[in-house]
Amino acid sequence: MSEKSSKKRRDKYSYIKKRKLPIRVLTLTVLISVVCLSGVFFLSINMDKIARIYKEVVKNDYNNLEYMDSISQNFYRHQALVFQYMDDFDDESVKKSLEEKSIQLKSDIEEEARKFGDNVIGTVYESSYHTIYSGLNGYFSNVNYIFEFGDEDDYATAEFYMKNMLQGSIEEVNDAVDLLDTLIKDDVNKTQQEMTNHFEVSRIISVVIIVLLTVFIFIGLIWSVSASREIAYKDPLTGVNNMDKFQKEMDKYIKKGKLTEYTCVCSNIKDFTIVNQQLGSDVGDMALRNFANTVFHHLYKDEKIARVGGDKFIILVRNERIDGLIKFIDKVSVTVDYHDEAHVVQLETRCGLCKIKQDYDTGTIVDNVHLALSQTKLKAVDNIWFEENMLEQAYDRKTLLVEYQNAIKQKEFVVYYQPKVNIFNNTLCGSEALVRWWKDDKIIPPFKFIPVLEEEGRVTELDFYVFEQVCRDIRTWLDNGIKPVRVSSNFSKLHLRNPQFAENVLEIVDRYKIDSEYLEIELTESSGYEDFNAFTEFVDKMRKRGIHISIDDFGTGYSSLSLLKKLNVDVIKIDKSFIDGIGVGDEMNESLVKNIIYMIKDLNRHVICEGVEYMSQAEFLKKQNCHMVQGYLFDKPLSHDEYEERLKSPVYEKNIVA
């Protein structure tokens, strides 16, 4: 399997991680930036134009108006001087002074007119200015004539010039001033209109930017809402829906009145921890993802799947397709990459199923399938349909948990001892401590509470309670001069999650000063796989202290003889189910037991067979060189006092085994 193709497969199944959102967001961000930048660019160009127009045209126009105003005011003043000159024609000194003032004023006007002239170059009213200028020249030359004739006291000629010539040039200048005023104001208006147009363009650009930004932000918001919904409703590992979404979809179906057309399934992958343990959690994740996707693609659009958590999934499937689905998910082959190689892993499932009734709400349905699923483990079957009476049992389960706490405090748990017998000399060679719950003068057997406590993670407390009682009893027997035999105590595999497990065991051993030869710890075989490292670590610590370890119920779980080789345990307990098949004509089973015993011995481990009820079984086992057995043929689990009697007379009187 090449790296490339394996990557391809990985990508196919991790589509949830490849949501298009980042690319979309990136595109949106780029678009927003482009729009903003180009908008700002156009705006700045436009504002620049406005500023330029204002500076170059409007300001100039206003300056020119001022020049013109000033010129025409001085022009009026000058006219007044000339009129006064005519009035005071007889007074030579006044005339002289007026002439001098006139020269001064004229030079002011000329100075302003020159500046004005510089300023009008290139304007639309340049030619009108020239009319004023020439009008002023005409005016001043006529004034000169008046003054010349005034010097000669020729009033009549001066008056003639005054009335005919001067009047004409004054009108010419005034008309030109009026025209220029209109032209400049027109120019100002035109320019202002131009500026208004540019402002309008800027306004449109701003509105476009704001509208686009609003649209983009709105789209962004919609995306982020849908993204957060995805996050809120999708299981990040597998990409299928999570429970919230699943329940919402069921609610929708309830509203439409069609949920009864579906069956709810809660499925759990069997021994998924083995995949995680053996192949690593990354491969485990890939297997889960592929499992979820395989089932997802098997479903119709209206059928739903969600991940509850861990290796548990919940599915809503059409009633008529339930059988097909059960068959489909019974064994699902998924391909995973392990050490750059494609491996096919077969995942088997257990399912709790619930036929949906009209009055069920989503919570009830989810609870029901979970309940049904929890029964599959207890009853060791693959699929169980929910039944109403399970609810009562579930209630019992709750009561049990409440009462358990109290029972521990009240010391309602007692330890029974079931002897182990050496069938070669018919002597007691050990025993197994088995707990009993004395409740209201009745004995509750362990199968009624141990599985529940184990599922709820509460059994560990009880195991230590029993183990401490065992140590206490051994201490008392030793102190009373009764020679005990090795007692094995059952410890749940849950202890392997406790890093202090070995230390806790040894603390009790040391507290009661018990010699390790009297102690043995039983762990069920499935624990060997699930927590292999913790298991070996624990075994090593116990063996260092000389405490025996046995594998209980061998043959019922997933242990293999090759695994046994790796586990440095002392004793293997062959499960009763194998012993039941001895002496009943089941040759296959007998041959299996024979070979298992042979191989265990070959691995230098001790072997013990439990559940020996008949002489024929004991005889068969003796022939296979199996020394130790445990079973009703010799003794049932005995109370403390009965067992003490057995310790005192450890030889079985009857020669039970021939």
Question: Which of 421, 429, 444, 459 forms a contact with ligand C2E (CB under 6 A)?
Answer: 459
Q: According to the binding rule CB under 6 A, does residue 525 interact with ligand C2E? A: no
Over the range 191-223, which residues count as b (16 or more CB within 10 Å of their CB) and which as e? bbeebeebeebbeebeeebeebeeebeeebeee
Sole binder of ligand C2E in the list 447, 481, 562, 653 (CB under 6 A): 447
CA distance 354 to 317: 11
Q: Is 202 in the site for ligand C2E (CB under 6 A)?
A: no
Residue 463 binding: pick among Mg ion, ligand C2E, none (C-beta 5-8 Å cut-off by kind): ligand C2E
User: Token match 């649209």: residue?
Assistant: 215
Asked if 450 interacts with ligand C2E (CB under 6 A), we say: yes
Choosing among ligand C2E, Mg ion, none, which partner's interface includes residue 447 (Cβ < 5 to 8 Å by kind)? ligand C2E
Stretch that binds Mg ion, among 387-395, 517-525, 533-541, 581-589 (CB under 5 A): 517-525
Taking residue 16's Cβ as centre, other Cβ atoms within 10 Å add up to 17
Owner of token pair 């010097």: 151
Helices (H), 433-500: 446-455, 459-479
Report d(CA 532, CA 278) in Å as an integer. 9
Nearer to ligand C2E by Cβ, of 112 and 553: the residue is: 553
Residue owning tokens 């302003």? 112
At residue 576, the 3 state secondary structure works out as helix
User: Does residue 630 bind ligand C2E (CB under 6 A)?
Assistant: yes
Q: Tell whether residue 311 is a contact of Mg ion (CB under 5 A).
A: no
The least distance separating Mg ion from the CB of residue 583, rounded to whole angstroms, comes to 20
Q: Does 631 bind ligand C2E (CB under 6 A)?
A: yes
Q: Name the residue nearer to ligand C2E (CB basis): 312 or 420.
A: 420
CB of 518 to ligand C2E, least distance (A): 17
Residue from 32, 13, 39, 10 nearest 223 by CA: 32
Q: What is the DSSP code (8-state) at residue 551? A: E
> 300 or 447: whose CB is closer to Mg ion?
447
Q: Which of 299, 553, 605, 626 binds Mg ion (CB under 5 A)?
A: 553
Residue among 522, 525, 531, 635 that touches Mg ion (CB under 5 A): 522
Q: Which stretch binds Mg ion (CB under 5 A): 123-131, 280-288, 365-373, 516-524?
A: 516-524
Cβ closest to ligand C2E, residue 336 vs residue 638: 638
187 binds, among Mg ion, ligand C2E, none (CB under 5 to 8 A by kind): none
| Nearest alpha carbon to residue 651 among 419, 420, 425, 418 | 425
> Considering the rule CB under 6 A, would residue 430 count as an interface residue with ligand C2E?
no
108 vs 3: CA distance, rounded Å: 96
> Taking a C-beta distance cutoff of 8 angstroms, is the pair 169, 138 a contact?
yes
Binding-site member from 308, 637, 646, 652 for ligand C2E (CB under 6 A): 637
Closest to 519 (Cα-Cα) out of 502, 533, 536: 502
* Residue 446 touches ligand C2E, criterion: CB under 6 A: yes
Sole binder of ligand C2E in the list 61, 610, 627, 638 (CB under 6 A): 610
330: left (phi over 0), alpha (psi -120 to 50) or beta: alpha
Amino acid, res. 560: S
Q: Which residues of 61-97 are buried (b: 16+ CB within 10 A; e: fewer)?
A: beebeebbebbbebbeebbebbeebbeebeeeeebee
Stretch that binds ligand C2E, among 156-164, 228-236, 399-407, 631-639 (CB under 6 A): 631-639
Question: Does 463 interact with Mg ion (rule: CB under 5 A)?
Answer: no
Please tell me the distance from the alpha carbon of residue 632 to that of residue 66, in angstroms, as a whole number: 129
HSE value, Cβ hemisphere, 13 Å, CA-based, for 606: 16
- The contact pattern for ligand C2E, residues 530-569, with x = CB under 6 A and - = no contact, is ----------------------xx----------------
368 in contact with ligand C2E (CB under 6 A): no
Of 275, 274, 297, nearest in space to 286 by CA: 275
Token readout for 168 is 């004409």
- Single out the segment in contact with Mg ion by CB under 5 A; choices: 273-281, 298-306, 337-345, 546-554: 546-554
In this complex, which beta carbon is closest to Mg ion, that of residue 263 or of residue 431?
431
Q: How far is the CB of 485 from ligand C2E (least distance, A)?
A: 17
Chain contacts with ligand C2E (rule: CB under 6 A): 418, 434-435, 445-447, 450, 459, 463, 466, 490, 492, 552-553, 610-613, 630-632, 637
